[in-house]
Structure 1
Amino acid sequence: MASPFDATSTTDDVLAGVDLSGKRILVTGVSAGLGVETARSLAARGARVVGAARNLAKAEAATAQVRADARHGGGLELIELDLASLKSVRACADALLAAGKPFDLVISNAGVMATPFGHTADGFETQFGTNHLGHFVLVNRIAALLTPGARLVNVASSGHRFADVDLDDPNFERTAYEPFVGYGRSKTANILFAVEFDRRHKARGVRATALHPGGIQTELGRHIGAATLEAMVAKINADLAAGGKPPFQFKSIPQGAATSVWAGVVAKADEVGGRYCENCHVSEVTDGLINPIAEGVRRYALDADRARALWAKSEEMVGERF
């Protein structure tokens, strides 16, 4: 069934008429951008949102509108989470488990992009460690809190097309580091994690999906210089013009967060489970060279065997089995 929504749809469009009273939702990365808008739109429909952020003071200031828009019993509480530190991740998970309150939806939204080469507190390459391993540990530790009918939504990216995961050298110990290759690996990992989590949990009614929110100007791009961004957009527009298409336009933040809430509460579970979504619909597999903003997901990002191998490698890296 075709979705009535598209790239221009906003969170308010997608959630029009939806009542989330009584639902409890975890959203990571609520100190800026998509995370704040995701939390706002859900709380405005009555959801009790738990917002996770590394900097609680920043998150407190950034989420004033979330509280102002909350309706029908909806609201927001904050919890500290630094995805670049497994000590912080485990402390966050322990606190949520101790509270014992179930979740109807987890949206793994936080992340970093195209960072200079570096390492997390645990020695992992920054992007793979933050974007994938941090969420991998958090979600698996609180998986018991996801009740039948619940969903996991991983915010990935079309940037997964830059690179498949490298299970032999995940920390760039033998490979020359390229910021967007590192980003691509981490975003492919987000998708593969959703594929395997969905396989493991769908029998008990818990589903998982991943998505590309679109091109949005947020703090995520802090490591990309203005000149680099301008050159990237110029190349995209040249490709679009050659194909007789209009120039690229960035999405607004409410448009960028729309696919997260669509996949989390509006789309049918069987439609999105184990799949990759963008522009409020499920994407088709597209291999080969394509325009960088064209729709489509690489086959390797949905490969079930690759997903199982990544899970095993991730367990080995973090020293836990789930």
Structure 2
Amino acid sequence: MATKQTPISSGFGATSTAAEVIQGIDLTGKIIVVTGGYSGIGLETVRAFHSAGAKVIVPARDINKAKAALAEMPDVLIEVMDLLHPASIDAFADRFLRHFDKLHILVNNAGVMAAPLARDERGNESQFAANHLGHFQLTVRLWPALVRAEGARVVALSSYGYIRGEVDFDDPHFEHREYHPWAAYGQAKSANALFAVALDSIGQRQGVRAFSVHPGGIATDLQRHLSQTELDAVKLFDENGKPIIDPEGADRKTPQQGAATSVWCATSPRLEGLGGVYCVNCEIAPLLPNDESMERFGVRPRAIDPVAAGRLWQLSEQLTGSKIKPE
């Protein structure tokens, strides 16, 4: 399989922060949407874009929590949206398109991890629905504004957790197989990476490029569904409950470091003309063997397979009823 997964010596690395990555970038006049932009790495992503002069819109399920978190940036626009409710996604998109002609950057950052079995109102498994299908619908609905931006970028938050499960095209919602929270998370994160491949293939002719990101291991609200045993296993916290930070930034990162790769993918001039790639540590990740090892700082071929990406796109259209309409 031909691959674009070739590192480009970005000049940044594992310990780089979002503030460092955005330095020297002027986003004045740019319109940006960041889902989940009011906690964890999403909040740091918004801070970076805001510091560079962008107009940032944060769709939020919990408006009060978002207002409290973003109080320091009163000009950030907060709008109601719930990724598990299709009508809410459509309503947000309709409001956005009424008020904004262009969308320069879309960061699909919100997500859920290792949650108990639940389903959205369509019957879709909740991790697949929130992490992938909701963002798929949002992206498709905002497509006209992305195209009009003439150079828009879409960033999908994946994770090395994709190694825990592939997309099961025969039973994506665990209707006929036993549910396991981590397998569902792995499927959703695999879908995020494949989504970027398919979107980039569709969008590049119209100037829209897409990237997927492994942000690193960061202690945030994302771990709220984990038991103490699971928290001990992932080693994000020490015995006193404080986040573990790797001084070399290899994987256990601060939220500021965790946001860096998203910001880099969204804004770096070095990525002009590129897309459809999986990135880690502010770099295009190298291709890894298609094995079962737990190596985190590259990407396996199955996560960027264009055939699987095409199948996922078709499945997502069927499950959401959303399709990109020719301009």
TM-score by length of 1: 0.90
Contact 2:200 2:208 in 1 (8 A): yes
Q: Percent identity?
A: 41
User: Map of 1:1-322 to 2, 5 A cutoff?
Assistant: 1-67=8-74, 75-146=75-146, 147-233=149-235, 250-270=252-272, 272-286=274-288, 287-292=290-295, 294-322=296-324
Contact 2:111 2:222 in 1 (8 A): yes
The Cα of 1:101 is off from its aligned counterpart by 2.6
Contact 1:263 1:272 in 2 (8 A): no
Q: Which amino acid in 2 is paired with 1:106? A: L
The Cα of 1:249 is off from its aligned counterpart by 6.0
Count how many residue pairs are aligned between Structure 1 and Structure 2: 303
Residues 39-81 of structure 1: per-residue CA shift (max 9 Å, x gap): 11110110110111111111000112334xxxxxxx4111111
Tell me how far apart the structure 2 counterparts of residues 66 and 158 of structure 1 sit (CA, whole Å): 32
Query: Between Structure 1 and Structure 2, which shows a larger proportion of helix residues?
Result: 1
Q: CA RMSD in A?
A: 1.7
The Cα of 1:248 is off from its aligned counterpart by 7.2
Q: Which amino acid in 1 is paired with 2:60? A: A
- Equivalent position SS for 1:66: coil
Tell me how far apart the structure 1 counterparts of residues 273 and 166 of structure 2 sit (CA, whole Å): 24
Q: Which amino acid in 2 is paired with 1:190? A: N
The Cα of 1:320 is off from its aligned counterpart by 3.0
- Equivalent position SS for 1:103: coil
Tell me how far apart the structure 2 counterparts of residues 162 and 231 of structure 1 sit (CA, whole Å): 15
Tell me how far apart the structure 2 counterparts of residues 130 and 187 of structure 1 sit (CA, whole Å): 11
Tell me how far apart the structure 1 counterparts of residues 167 and 195 of structure 2 sit (CA, whole Å): 11
Q: Which has the higher contact order (CA 8 A, sep 6+)?
A: 2
Q: Which amino acid in 1 is paired with 2:190? A: T
Tell me how far apart the structure 2 counterparts of residues 103 and 319 of structure 1 sit (CA, whole Å): 22
Unaligned runs of 5+ in 2: 1-7, 237-247
Tell me how far apart the structure 2 counterparts of residues 167 and 50 of structure 1 sit (CA, whole Å): 33
Structure 2 residue aligned with 1:243:
none
